Amino acid sequence: MSDTPSTPANWFPDPTRRHELRYWDGAAWTEHISNQGKTGKDSVKGGLLDKIDGRIGNEADPAKIQRQLSGSGYRGAGIAQPVEGGDGTLFNEPILVVNQKAKIFELTNQYGVFSQHGTQVAQVNQVGQSRAKKVMRLVSSLDQFMTHKLEITDPAGQVLMRLTRPAKIIKSTVVVEDAAGNEIGRIVQEKMIGKINFGLEANGQRLGAIKAENWRAWNFRIEDNTGTEIARITKTFEGIAKTMFTTADNYVVQMHSKPPQPLHSLVVASALSVDTALKQDSRGLG
């Protein structure tokens, strides 16, 4: 597991589902198990634990990225077909694969952003979290009502954009800024009952919209101001062992065309903040 600093040794729900708890030693699952307070050992034949470990922390695996792109997606086809073009930078790739770093407990959002060829083009990190806020996130869902800040950097660590979702009561707003702190625009929630919708705004003008295609807000259609679909965000799944025992989210973003600025930056920002700020949170209001 590549994310050992974020997951200290402790008892956790058994990822094999054979027992109530299994001991994680800080680096790997062990044979030590617990049921109703009674401990024992179960080594699990066939290397199942090693296979589970291999599926956690493989966000940058090119084979995984290709599986995500070829999975069952929109209108029964692959999620995204290969597209020519792109120069390996965040704002010029027609397809972005956004994979969250998997953790048993998600206390800080971290995402890797990759091209259709598996090359990393950006990193997304949640910044400015206090220790108290991390503890609150662990034991409750109240953190969803607090301010969240994301910093988008290129592979060399250069800041490309900053996203801030101010503290909310009911509806979300994401403020999108460039590296210098100048506001590019905003992603503003317009609907929270049923299929969630957001407007893409800049300088007081509505440039487009994000529309969820189901009530759980797993897939999004992104439109320009004429209602034409210009991009699509599709959630992908890595398998039951990872989905059930970690909180990782994975998305494929396909740009059908490159819109003018600032709409293009707002579309990219939407893709990179879809979990933290846009989708309906299963722990409460989205």
Shared domain for 204 and 223, answered yes or no, is: yes
According to DSSP, residue 280 is labeled P
On the question of pLDDT at 105 being above 60, the answer is no
Structural domain count of the chain: 2
The pLDDT confidence band at residue 125, using thresholds 50, 70 and 90, is confident
Query: Is residue 286 included in any domain, yes or no?
Result: no
Measured between alpha carbons, how far is 135 from 62 in angstroms, rounded to an integer? 34
Shared domain for 98 and 225, answered yes or no, is: yes
Cβ-Cβ contacts under 8 Å for 240 (sequence gap 6 or more) = none
Shared domain for 223 and 124, answered yes or no, is: yes
Query: Is residue 284 included in any domain, yes or no?
Result: no
Residue 104 is predicted with a pLDDT of 41
Query: Is residue 46 included in any domain, yes or no?
Result: yes
Shared domain for 22 and 114, answered yes or no, is: no
* Greater pLDDT, 176 or 193: 176
On the question of pLDDT at 4 being above 50, the answer is no
Query: Is residue 283 included in any domain, yes or no?
Result: no
Cα→Cα distances 275→33, 108, 141, Å: 33, 12, 14
Instruction: Read off the CATH number of the domain in which 233 is found.
Output: 3.20.90
Measured between alpha carbons, how far is 255 from 94 in angstroms, rounded to an integer? 5
Shared domain for 79 and 27, answered yes or no, is: no
Query: Is residue 272 included in any domain, yes or no?
Result: yes
Query: Is residue 135 included in any domain, yes or no?
Result: yes
Average pLDDT over residues 63-84: 68
Measured between alpha carbons, how far is 274 from 62 in angstroms, rounded to an integer? 22
On the question of pLDDT at 226 being above 70, the answer is yes
Average pLDDT over residues 203-214: 92
HSE at residue 279, side-chain half, CA atoms within 13 A, is 23
As given in the structure block, the two tokens for residue 276 are: 């933290």
Answer with the one of 51, 67, 84 that is the final residue of a domain.
Answer: 51
Percent of the chain with pLDDT over 70: 65
Give me the domain span that covers residue 121. 59-278
Query: Is residue 285 included in any domain, yes or no?
Result: no
Cβ-Cβ contacts under 8 Å for 226 (sequence gap 6 or more) = none
* Greater pLDDT, 160 or 31: 160
Shared domain for 112 and 37, answered yes or no, is: no
Percent of the chain with pLDDT over 90: 29
Q: Are 275 and 189 in contact (CB under 8 A)?
A: no
Shared domain for 67 and 180, answered yes or no, is: yes
Average pLDDT over residues 13-42: 80
Average pLDDT value over all residues in the chain: 75
Shared domain for 154 and 172, answered yes or no, is: yes
Shared domain for 171 and 115, answered yes or no, is: yes
Angle at 195 between CA 113 and CA 164, to 5 degrees: 45
Shared domain for 96 and 208, answered yes or no, is: yes
Measured between alpha carbons, how far is 165 from 163 in angstroms, rounded to an integer? 7
pLDDT digits (tens, 9 = 90+) for 136-187: 444 444 455 578 888 999 988 899 999 998 876 667 889 999 999 999 999 9
Query: Is residue 193 included in any domain, yes or no?
Result: yes
Shared domain for 42 and 65, answered yes or no, is: no
Average pLDDT over residues 264-277: 85
Shared domain for 146 and 242, answered yes or no, is: yes
